[in-house]
């Protein structure tokens, strides 16, 4: 079952349960998927593209949460946090820091990277291999740590 179908079913459930936060979050996800389908002119949206949409939406909400928190707007920050948690349910299981470290060590040995100047090589391979399993910021921080 595609993410679009899963989201559609979840929207129906959220409507029945009158869960406003979930409904708003899921409708936003569905809108992004439909926009991508429109841009692709009817071709099927890949799983990687769907994961990228979810990650982008979570990142946007994280940024908004931090900004609202810094400004003391906890009412808006709570909404962003709740929406982020709803969207995260539809991402693949995220890697723990230990699993991420092991994956990046393996990528470093595969690419032959030795120092921080090889970060680009490692990031390119890691971003492809770990797409959907970890966010770019975590991957970058771990790669920098391991290469220094």
pLDDT in tens, 125-139: 888 887 777 877 888
Q: Model confidence at 121, in pLDDT bands (50, 70, 90)?
A: confident
Q: Does 16 score more than 90 pLDDT?
A: yes
CATH class of this structure's domain 3-89 = mainly alpha
pLDDT at 76: 94
117 contact partners, CB below 8 Å, separation of at least 6: none
Q: Model confidence at 144, in pLDDT bands (50, 70, 90)?
A: confident
- Are 132 and 51 a contacting pair, CB within 8 Å? yes
CATH match of 97-147 with 1.10.10.410:
yes
Burial of 56 (0-12, 13-18, 19+ CB in 10 A): exposed
Per-domain residue ranges of the chain = 3-89, 97-147
Q: Is-above-0.85 flag for pTM?
A: no
């Amino acid at each position: 079952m595609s993410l679009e179908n899963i989201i559609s079913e979840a929207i129906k459930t959220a409507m029945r349960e009158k869960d406003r936060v979930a409904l708003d979050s899921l409708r936003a996800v569905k809108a992004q998927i439909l926009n991508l389908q429109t841009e692709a002119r009817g071709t099927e949206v890949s799983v990687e593209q769907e994961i990228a949409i979810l990650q982008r939406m979570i990142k946007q909400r994280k940024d908004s949460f931090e900004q609202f928190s810094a400004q003391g707007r906890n009412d808006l920050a709570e909404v962003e946090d709740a929406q982020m948690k709803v969207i995260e349910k539809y991402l693949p299981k995220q890697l723990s820091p230990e699993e991420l470290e092991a994956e990046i060590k393996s990528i470093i040995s595969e690419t032959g990277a030795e120092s921080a100047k090889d970060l680009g090589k490692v990031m390119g391979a890691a971003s492809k291999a770990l797409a959907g399993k970890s966010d770019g910021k975590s991957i970058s921080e771990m790669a920098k740590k391991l290469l220094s």
